[in-house]
Amino acid sequence: MELAKKPLTGCAFQHLDLRGFTRELLSTSLEGSVFLGCQLEPEAERHALRGNALIFPEIPRLPFKPYRSGLYSVAELYADYTPGGPPERYARTPDHVIYSYFDERRPPKGKANLLDTLAQRLHDQSVTDALQEFLEGRKVVAIMGGHKMKRDAEEYWSVVRMASELTRRGFLVASGGGPGAMEAANLGAWLSTCSEEQQREAVKLLARVKTYEDKVGWLDTAFEVRERFPLNPTAVEQSRSLSIPTWHYGHEPPNAFATDIAKYFENSVREEGLLAIAHYGVIFTPGSAGTIQEIFQDACQNHYAEKDKASPMVFFDNAQGSYWVEDKPVLSVLASLGKELNKDGQLREYVQWLKHTNKVDEVLRHLELFAARPPSRQSAA
């Protein structure tokens, strides 16, 4: 670590032990710098304060790091979780401990004090910062859908296949990080280097516990699949996927197949962010109120998007092709909105990228067609 090569004016330092770099810090300007949860020698701290630097100290008695410098992993959130152990082992995981802390401090159970609220906001901003760094140069496709989708459902298998093929074609699959369709999305990316036979075997193993209502059984089977089908050491980068869960819905445990996890306290930040990063499309699988809300959030972003910034909205249906037409008939509303002319008197661009299908191959062709547009029209540019 080389600190004295150039002035450090306006730099931000997150959760670093800088006690071994006092000499370097004293030899350069720290004007306007920010130190978030860093360890500094007293002399370096005085030097920083003389330069009007901001020093945010560690906040005591928190079960999480508010100044984290990276995303979460399954190993971190489920640290010390041992499949097949006693039933209470899930309650001891860092993920559940943080959820319990959060749940006890929100209405109607309780009320967070100012320090708790500040710590949570600092945490979420740190996660956003890490997420932006992680996403640089990646082609993100989000897969949305209900947490109630069962592991033995045909739709679950379809999402696994779809996510696997998207990953193989260079897209980064992102999900809301929970069970059901979200798990299937991250699982598909995890298994992207496996054969179809191996993928079916993995889903069959998972289907012994169909839903997350049995959290321990649900997790045990997931860890069994992780062990049975580990990531290929030579292709970890090609199998990466993102999940963006929230402790707001902490009763839904995060699935065990995302390689990179951006977990938030504030649900609105998470929902808006997940849709906003999916520059290469959002796939909506059957879901309930939460999924419907996400559809219209995404439609609103597309409706008011600047030219060439709209992204595809794909409605992946059940085998009968009836869910998005009869059960939750949102397509007609979106088509009607799309007829409104923009400020240039033209039809909204996103209408041409609306797609309704129950065939995986059609989804893939639609998104690849969008991604193949000339560079000047790339949404993620």
pLDDT of residue 337: 86
Provide the 8-state DSSP code for 72.
B
pLDDT of residue 381: 31
- Length of the chain, in residues: 381
What is the Cα–Cα distance from 9 to 30, expressed in whole angstroms?
A: 5
Vertex 141: Cα angle to 201 and 245 (nearest 5): 75
pLDDT of residue 80: 86
The answer to whether residue 344 scores a pLDDT higher than 90 is no
Q: Looking at residues 290-310, what average pLDDT do you find? A: 87
Provide the 8-state DSSP code for 257.
-
Which is higher by pLDDT, 80 or 63? 63
User: What single letter denotes the amino acid at residue 103?
Assistant: D
Vertex 348: Cα angle to 325 and 244 (nearest 5): 65
* pTM reported for the whole predicted model: 0.92
Which is higher by pLDDT, 83 or 242? 242
**Is the dihedral angle over the CA atoms 136, 246, 161, 143 positive or is it negative?**
negative
CA-based end-to-end distance of the chain: 32
Query: Quick one: how many helices (H) and strands (E) in the chain?
Result: 13, 10
CB 242 within 8 A of CB 272: no
Give helix 289-303 / helix 267-277 axis angle, nearest 10°: 50
pLDDT of residue 6: 73
* pLDDT, tens digit, 9 for 90 and up, residues 91-150: 999 999 999 999 999 888 888 789 999 999 999 999 999 999 999 999 999 999 999 999
Q: Looking at residues 21-38, what average pLDDT do you find? A: 95
**Is the dihedral angle over the CA atoms 360, 363, 367, 372 positive or is it negative?**
positive
Neighbours of 188 (CB within 10 A): 32
Residue 108 to residues 111, 112, 128, Cα–Cα distance (Å): 8, 11, 28
Which of these CATH numbers, 3.40.50.450, 3.30.70.270, 3.40.50.2300, 3.30.1490.20, describes 136-377?
3.40.50.450
Residue 242 to residues 108, 142, 381, Cα–Cα distance (Å): 32, 9, 20
Residue 196 to residues 161, 162, 191, 201, Cα–Cα distance (Å): 8, 12, 9, 9
Give the residue extent of every domain in the chain: 12-56, 136-377
* Token pair of 43 as six digits: 């002399």
User: What single letter denotes the amino acid at residue 97?
Assistant: V
With bands split at pLDDT 50, 70 and 90, how would you rate the model's confidence at 5? low
CB 275 within 8 A of CB 310: no
* Token pair of 189 as six digits: 């990316």
The answer to whether residue 333 scores a pLDDT higher than 60 is yes
Which is higher by pLDDT, 159 or 306? 159
The answer to whether residue 336 scores a pLDDT higher than 90 is no
What is the Cα–Cα distance from 44 to 58, expressed in whole angstroms?
A: 17
CB 68 within 8 A of CB 124: no
What is the Cα–Cα distance from 144 to 295, expressed in whole angstroms?
A: 9
What average pLDDT does the chain have? 92
Of 155, 148, 375, 127, nearest to 283 by C-alpha is 155
* Token pair of 178 as six digits: 């929970």
* Least confident piece of the model among 194-208, 299-313, 335-349: 335-349
CB 133 within 8 A of CB 127: no
What is the Cα–Cα distance from 187 to 149, expressed in whole angstroms?
A: 14
